[in-house]
Amino acid sequence: MKKIKMPKLRGKEKESEGNKTKKNRSFNKLPKVTEKVDFDGEKGFTHAFGYRDEDAYLFVGQKSVISVFDVLVQYGSYNEAPIGWLLNLIPKMELKHGNVMFTQRQKGMEKDKENSVIERDIETNITTISESGQGKSSKQRAQNVGRVWDMKLAGELSGKGDTIIDSDLRLIVKARTPKDVEKTIKELKNNYKHYDVKGIIFVRQSGEQLEEMSQLFSHVTADAWHASDMNSVAAGRIFLPSSGFSDAQGTYVGTDIRALLTNNPAIIDFTDIKNATIFMGNISVKGSIGGIEGGGMLLSGGSAVAHVLSEANYLAGKRIHHITMSDFGYRAPDSLVFDMSKEAINPLEVFGTPETVQIDATANFNKATTMMLLLSNTVDKQRYAELEAELKSVLIDWMIYRAGGQGMYTNDPENEPNRAEQILATGDHENYPTPFELLPALNDNVAKRANEGEYAREKADFLHMTLKTAFSEFPSIFHKVTTLPDVYKSTDRNIYYDLSKLTNNTKVTSAVFLNVLAYVTNRALEGEQIVIHGLDYIDIPVDYLVPYRERIARKSVGLVSVYEKAENKINPHSYSRFSGRLSQQDAVVLGAMTQEELAYINDSWRQPLPSQVSNVLLEGHNGILYFYRKKDRVGALVQTHLIL
């Protein structure tokens, strides 16, 4: 272990080494503090919703508070830099609210780990970076060129007998109060900004302050956040990069199996991820629910990934709408759950706005027709098309002239907007007609069509009898008024529309899903997110979903699509007009796949997956997923361990 202590920085008061040692010995005697300290802290330095003071601070006596920060340096900020560049961390102006001290720690990498890095991982990562492209911006291209250069240099120096060292930095802040600690950090950041000190990030581990102090001179953190480089060049630059995700602020999703460092955590910042596709290929993920250590394999792993991904939107204050087909029992905090085997949404109610009423009404006619015919057990495609045209004609005519007594729509919505808007749903659900009330119109249609020949009469009669049977068999779908609330409380931040109890019948699931989708795309507000858990549990022609995808885009609502099953006809390729091509997603997560699935994934992505990635995914290991983020074109193979 090589210990390098940087000069102590003076603020308002000066401590002797003896006094500091004495106070270090008193940490284990600290009383538990339960009073909440109320102050405004910057996000990333205090939790967005506030901490109890013992989580983030050590209270020494009555007049001293200490907090320990991990000092991270963004890759490329000091590569190359003059020897001694770390002295830039010493503030050039007096700090008024507290004292700060930096400690640098270093140790040599274990020999077997070093051999693995040099002989296998460096070459693999050079190839991965090269095959995944150089990025769109000049900044990305320069950083990727730098990464490749760093790794090649490491290989050359290793051949000359050089070794790899790990190093990290800790910042200790001492002040009179927690508020002064935060002010000191703010002063330090302003000082850096004024003197153009770039790339410095402070991260505090909540609840681990005492452990951080006790390990200050005995522990070196060796992972993707921290510095690793060849001994002969480490003093003048930082650092040998790891592959994959090592975001300073983000969510732990497991271990990066292609990283340069052994047991390298994959930390992913999912902020600003609005649209994503998750394709699992029938494999499970490892996860822990409720922060339980150990964990185990979770079925419906795509739902687990979707919860982890969408949590960033939830923490940003946005509502998440979960449409769940997969049987995944976890529910996020602040949730409101609707069991759609017991609840109802009237298929004829048009959820929309006066500005888009014509589009919304047309989409709803298509949706209602599809729902009714899905449950009619009509298999022949030609017969289905004929019945669809017949039913839609009867339905529209009935809605214009007879529904609700005098009709609820118009055949000229552009010139009769007030009459057209009558079709829009209101809070008066009891008085909105249900499909069951359409039966007399279907019966009248039989007599009407009889004058047009035997085949026309037979088709009308078949439609009437088929839907009469369907309405009797599924009264909760076709003969109940809407039971969902018209207003959500501000505390209802995760809304679940649970269809999992209906999935033993694909047609029923498909019909109810289409109905829920129409409802949810209307209820969701700009910036909110819709997560569909198990989109491949349904079987609906994608054409009927496209209007709702257009509504989602028009309202700037996010969409996360989860495909759980392997070798299924409903997949990211067949449903790309709804969920979007992979090249359009903010994030993509891939699990096991076949050669055929790999082919359409590469086509949808408009670029082939790196061979190292595709080879692993074709093997189909439980727990191993590929995470990709579009904004910085970063991807990593991860041995998952999700924390829910």
pLDDT in the model for residue 264: 64
Within 10 A of 565 (CB to CB), how many other CB atoms are there?
18
DSSP secondary structure letters along 469-491: HHHHH-HHHHS----S-SS--TT
Question: What is d(CA 331, CA 201) in angstroms, rounded to the nearest whole number?
Answer: 33
pLDDT in the model for residue 185: 92
Strand pairing of 251-256 and 265-268?
antiparallel
Strand pairing of 251-256 and 227-230?
unpaired
DSSP secondary structure letters along 546-563: HHHHHHHHHTT-EEEEEE
Alpha helices in 217-356 (DSSP H): 301-315
Question: What is d(CA 235, CA 27) in angstroms, rounded to the nearest whole number?
Answer: 33
pLDDT in the model for residue 125: 65
The answer to whether the CB of 310 falls within 8 A of the CB of 484 is no
pLDDT in the model for residue 195: 87
Q: What is residue 349's three-state secondary structure?
A: coil
Angle of CA points 260, 262, 263, to nearest 5°? 125
Select from 279, 369, 353 the least CA-distant residue to 580.
Answer: 279
Question: What is d(CA 336, CA 338) in angstroms, rounded to the nearest whole number?
Answer: 7
Please list the ranges in the chain whose pLDDT falls under 70: 1-55, 75-76, 79, 116, 119-121, 123-141, 143-144, 205-207, 222-227, 233-244, 246, 248, 259-264, 291-294, 378-379
pLDDT in the model for residue 127: 67
Radius of gyration of the chain (CA): 30
pLDDT in the model for residue 532: 98
pLDDT in the model for residue 509: 95
Structure-token pair, residue 494: 């995760």
| Residues contacting residue 2 through CB under 8 Å, at least 6 positions apart | 106, 107, 165
Which residue's structure tokens are 């998440």? Answer: 320
Type of residue numbered 449:
R
Q: What is residue 592's three-state secondary structure?
A: coil
User: Quick one: DSSP state of residue 462?
Assistant: H
Question: Quick one: which H or E segment has residue 147?
Answer: helix 138-159
Question: Which residues is 64 bridged to in the sheet?
Answer: 60
Question: What is d(CA 375, CA 377) in angstroms, rounded to the nearest whole number?
Answer: 6
Question: Quick one: which H or E segment has residue 265?
Answer: strand 265-268
pLDDT in the model for residue 151: 75
Type of residue numbered 172:
I
Query: Which CA distances in Å does 513 have to 371, 432, 507?
Result: 9, 21, 10
What is the four-CA torsion angle of 289, 292, 293, 296, rounded to 10 degrees? -40
Angle of CA points 521, 527, 532, to nearest 5°? 45
Tens-digit pLDDT profile for residues 461-473: 999 999 999 999 9
